[in-house]
Structure 1
């Protein structure tokens, strides 16, 4: 069957009763406008990824086809059976009530266009309003199934609240994505400072495990890239002197951007950093146990360990760093 039939070339079309009427009649305007609204709802459905909204829109689109069949029925007899009933109207009212419960109250006139899907729903709403005006005009002179007029009236209200619910959800999603992107960029910009505490916990746990294995109570300190303390742990029976020494080792590793073992080598008499341990308030430590923490080539902090021999301190500090690899 061809799409074009040429039967409407004279400006007339057929109703379901086969009656021929002019295409610009109020009845044709009415069901033609409902068809237009259906298309706009289809656009909204294609623009949203909210499955709950699609589950509302699609059945209504199918009901609009039935509603148009009622509008295309001009002759009414005792045996006439309408397709749209009060049950359909009540279902729309129930959906409206459910949507109102989830909608954020708005005490101002809405400007359409917050999101693409909500804009399409608002467009469908205005088209439904126009269809309702044609139906009201048609009822003055011809018979129209009462639930049809009620259905169209409720549909415009439903589309309004549906547009608001879809809009608020999509805007919340957009804002959340923007915030998460900003946080991620900030995290990358600060070289991992934002999760330094989590890293410090892992470092200390791994270092403590190693200290237990060699049976030497240790003090373990972790600082950030500015030399500020992030986490500090003193194992039972660790030397009190090690509390400040461990912290200063971590600070030294960051301040000099080298391990305290390396600092010891260049701080010997005749070397380039001889006497450096007497500067900076004597905070700089020049024996092993302090190591800088690098991530993707960026200095993010330092770890300092004290409590055993130099070799023991170094082995525990290195064990801690392995937790980040």
Structure 2
């Protein structure tokens, strides 16, 4: 069966009621833009990673068919077998907006649309929803348009924005986790091939701890000292009298971070700023990672031996104590 009828060759099209109007008629412009939006949403469904987002987008696609059918009919009487947009669909959009926005950090400036494919496609669909809204407002100056349709199309663009933010957030979080996992696994592989002798001896652990305590006493700063092996397992934990309780949590995290990221913790500070490669690392790792000074990776002959974490003073004091202690044994802080 041929899909062409030749009846539109003169620049007109038929509404559901059979009346022929120009293809530039505001009614045709409105439901034609909804058709564009629906096609764009199909790409969003394919790109979205969150299964709940995909299901919601498919529901919206069906609702746009109802929406278009209503605009394509001049009948003011509802048709029993036809579905119509109602407040129920608007409530579902608002619930989706609240859920998505509740998962992402607040923005204080404009952002470039989409750092992931799904978010980029959703932002594009959002602009089509805004255009559809403008077409609908234009149409409403000529015919009666149900107010619920105006509310729905306005809320839809907000919903697509919220979904884009959530997809971007998830993609960024997964990217952070992947990068951290790769660096940590690299450290594990290095430790697996290490000769048994290439680890800190008991004497070196003792010297490292004593040197840190001596420097801390010189500075009159009670600290917590943590040393971990190349696998991130704590081998030494020493708390000086009157050291802050929170330091008992921070020192091991600094040592672990230095091993996991294979670098000193203060060198991560610039990497976690907005726009940097590891932005959001601390929150995505649920507080396990520390990105301020006081943690050092310990290297010898290109092999990672472990990590040292100092906490209790200012960042500068913690770094001073750690660097003084490291100087007491034959290790480096860089590979």
Is the pair's TM-score, using the shorter chain for normalization, greater than 0.5?
yes
- Per-residue displacement from partner, 1:192-223 (whole Å, max 9, x unpaired)? 56xx9xxxxxxxxxxxxxxxxxxxxxxxxxx5
Q: 1:135 aligned to 2:136?
A: yes
- 1:67–1:145: structure 2 CA closer, same or farther, 3 Å change rule? same
How far 1:126 moved relative to its partner? 0.4
Greater Rg, structure 1 or structure 2? Answer: 1
- 1:148–1:78: structure 2 CA closer, same or farther, 3 Å change rule? closer
1:29 touches 1:134 (CA, 8 Å); kept in 2? yes
Aligned partner of residue 145 in structure 2, secondary structure: coil
Aligned partner of residue 102 in structure 2, secondary structure: helix
Where does the alignment leave 5 or more consecutive residues of structure 1 unmatched? 197-222, 233-298, 302-325
Structure 2 counterpart of 1:62: 62
How far 1:190 moved relative to its partner? 4.8
How far 1:147 moved relative to its partner? 1.3
Q: For 1:34 and 1:106, how far apart are their aligned partners in 2?
A: 29
Structure 2 counterpart of 1:30: 30
- 1:75–1:187: structure 2 CA closer, same or farther, 3 Å change rule? same
How far 1:143 moved relative to its partner? 1.9
Where does the alignment leave 5 or more consecutive residues of structure 2 unmatched? 206-302, 306-335
- Per-residue displacement from partner, 1:80-117 (whole Å, max 9, x unpaired)? 87711222222212222222222221111121121000
**Following superposition, which runs of at least 4 residues in structure 1 exceed 6 angstroms of deviation?**
78-82
The number of residue pairs the alignment matches comes to 208
Q: 1:172 aligned to 2:173?
A: yes
Q: For 2:38 and 2:171, how far apart are their aligned partners in 1?
A: 22
Q: For 2:78 and 2:113, how far apart are their aligned partners in 1?
A: 45
Q: For 1:31 and 1:5, how far apart are their aligned partners in 2?
A: 20
Q: For 1:48 and 1:84, how far apart are their aligned partners in 2?
A: 24
How far 1:179 moved relative to its partner? 1.7
1:13 touches 1:23 (CA, 8 Å); kept in 2? yes
Question: What's the RMSD between the two structures over aligned residues?
Answer: 2.8
Q: For 2:6 and 2:135, how far apart are their aligned partners in 1?
A: 27
How far 1:138 moved relative to its partner? 0.4
Structure 1 counterpart of 2:198: 225
Q: For 2:165 and 2:19, how far apart are their aligned partners in 1?
A: 42
Structure 2 counterpart of 1:108: 109
Aligned partner of residue 13 in structure 1, secondary structure: strand
Report the TM-score, using the length of structure 1 for normalisation. Answer: 0.58
Structure 2 counterpart of 1:186: 187
Q: For 1:78 and 1:44, how far apart are their aligned partners in 2?
A: 31
Q: For 1:53 and 1:3, how far apart are their aligned partners in 2?
A: 33
Report the TM-score, using the length of structure 2 for normalisation. Answer: 0.56
Structure 2 counterpart of 1:12: 12
- 1:227–1:169: structure 2 CA closer, same or farther, 3 Å change rule? closer
- Per-residue displacement from partner, 1:45-97 (whole Å, max 9, x unpaired)? 11122212112211111111111111112232487877112222222122222
* Larger CA deviation: 49-58 vs 179-188: 179-188
1:11 touches 1:23 (CA, 8 Å); kept in 2? yes
Structure 1 counterpart of 2:156: 155
- 1:122–1:227: structure 2 CA closer, same or farther, 3 Å change rule? closer
Alignment of 1:216-295 (within 5 A): 224-226=197-199, 228-229=201-202
